[in-house]
Amino acid sequence: MSGALDGIVVADFTRVLAGPYATMLLGDLGADVIKVERPGVGDDTRSWGPPFDSAGRATYFEAINRNKHSVVIDLRSREGQERARELALSADVLVENFAPGTFDRYGLGYEQLHAVNPGLVYASISGFGSAPEGRELPGYDLLVQASGGLMSVTGPEPGHPTKAGVALVDVITGLHCTIGILAALRHRDRTGEGQHVEVALLSSLLSAMVNQSTSYVNAGVIPGIMGNAHPSIVPYETYPTADRDLVIAVGNDGQFRSLCAVLGHPEWADDERFTTNLNRVAHRHELGGMMATTLRQRSADEWWSLLTPAGVPCGPINDIADAFALAARVGLEPIATFEGAADVPTVAHPIRLSATPATYRHTPPALDGGTS
Which of 62, 3, 13 lies closest to 33, judged by CA? 13
Cα dihedral 342, 344, 346, 349 sign: negative
Give the model confidence (pLDDT) of 200-226 as tens digits.
999 999 999 999 999 999 999 999 999
According to the model, what pLDDT value does residue 242 have? 96
CATH class of 9-208+334-347: alpha beta
According to the model, what pLDDT value does residue 11 have? 98
Q: Which of 12, 28, 141, 170 is catalytic?
A: 170
pLDDT higher than threshold 90 for residue 86:
yes
Give the model confidence (pLDDT) of 320-368 as tens digits.
999 999 999 999 999 999 998 888 999 999 999 999 999 999 999 999 8
DSSP 114-131: HTT-TT-EEEEEESS-SS
Active site residue 170: yes
pLDDT higher than threshold 50 for residue 57:
yes
Give the model confidence (pLDDT) of 271-289 as tens digits.
999 999 999 999 999 999 9
SS3 content of the chain, % helix, strand, coil (to 5): 40, 15, 45
Q: What percent of the chain is modeled with pLDDT above 90?
A: 94
**DSSP, res 365:** P
Cα dihedral 70, 74, 76, 82 sign: negative
The rounded Cα 279 to chain-centroid distance in angstroms is: 34
Which of 71, 70, 65, 69 lies closest to 25, judged by CA? 65
**Domain coordinates of the chain in residue numbers?**
9-208+334-347, 236-240+245-316
CATH class of 236-240+245-316: alpha beta
According to the model, what pLDDT value does residue 372 have? 38
According to the model, what pLDDT value does residue 371 have? 45
Beta strands in 114-226 (DSSP E): 121-126, 196-200
- Cβ partners under 8 Å of residue 185, min gap 6: 8, 92, 93, 121
Provide the 3-class DSSP secondary structure of residue 305. Answer: helix
What's the whole-number average pLDDT of the chain? 95
According to the model, what pLDDT value does residue 1 have? 62
The predicted model gives 72-95 an average pLDDT of 97
